[in-house]
Amino acid sequence: MKKELEVINERLLGLDLVGKLKFLADSYPGKIIFSTSFGWEDQAITHLIFSNNIPIKVFTLETGRLFPETYYVWNRTLEIYNKQIHAYYPERTRLEAMVDAKGPSSFYESVENRKECCHIRKIEPLKRALAGNSIWVTGIRADQSANREEMKDLEWDEGNQLIKFHPIFNWSLDEVKAYIKDNNIVYNPLHDKGFPSIGCAPCTRAVQPGEDFRAGRWWWEDQSKKECGLHVSS
């Protein structure tokens, strides 16, 4: 796999973002997929894929606890590009069992409960979405959290047994915002209200001036525990 990554990296050299995405889509036809949560970064990549008709499947995790603003962006994106975004839902029986046993807000009670909720609503549906694919395209940027600075824009995901490609890995937030503005891309209005990172509504709040980028996610927990497990450094 190390050799395969080296070969891909060599082929990507000198290509712009559209060229890189097209090369990967051509190299892994029908086996390349992009996950969106409709945030700034993901909307930028969705625009790159849809406006250039790149054959990359786009999907989202419908946790059942998203903000109304997120559903607005989702629907507007469908209207603007007239392309399909596949939705993956939690497995019904597991979700019902958790809520029956612990109630609808058990994630506030302990890290273990929160991770259980994340696993049911996000991790397990993600596994289904990624199954059978070879390339997973993401909107990860290096400066979003400390552990992500150790990642690379192209890497092997051991847990999911596929290659991950982060096309805007080296972009700053200002660069993302500029791209959104220059291309008139629809984005989540919560971003303008202090929400740099937007997840499930009960688990996300606005960030105060001077706070960390991800301080608004699972704000009741220690900073070191603030990952749901979707993107673990390989």
Catalytic residue numbers read 228
Nearest to 199 by CA among 213, 211, 210: 213
3-state secondary structure the chain: CHHHHHHHHHHHCCCCHHHHHHHHHHHCCCCEEEECCCCHHHHHHHHHHHHCCCCCEEEEECCCCECHHHHHHHHHHHHHHCCCCEEECCCHHHHHHHHHHHCCCHHHCCHHHHHHHHHHHHHHHHHHHHCCCCEEECCCCHHHCHHHHHCCCEEEECCCCEEEECCCCCCCHHHHHHHHHHCCCCCCHHHHHCCCCCCEHHHECCCCCCCCCCCCECCCCCHHHCCCCCCCCC
The C-alpha atoms of residue 224 and residue 233 are separated, in whole angstroms, by: 14
CA angle 154/117/108 to nearest 5° reads 115
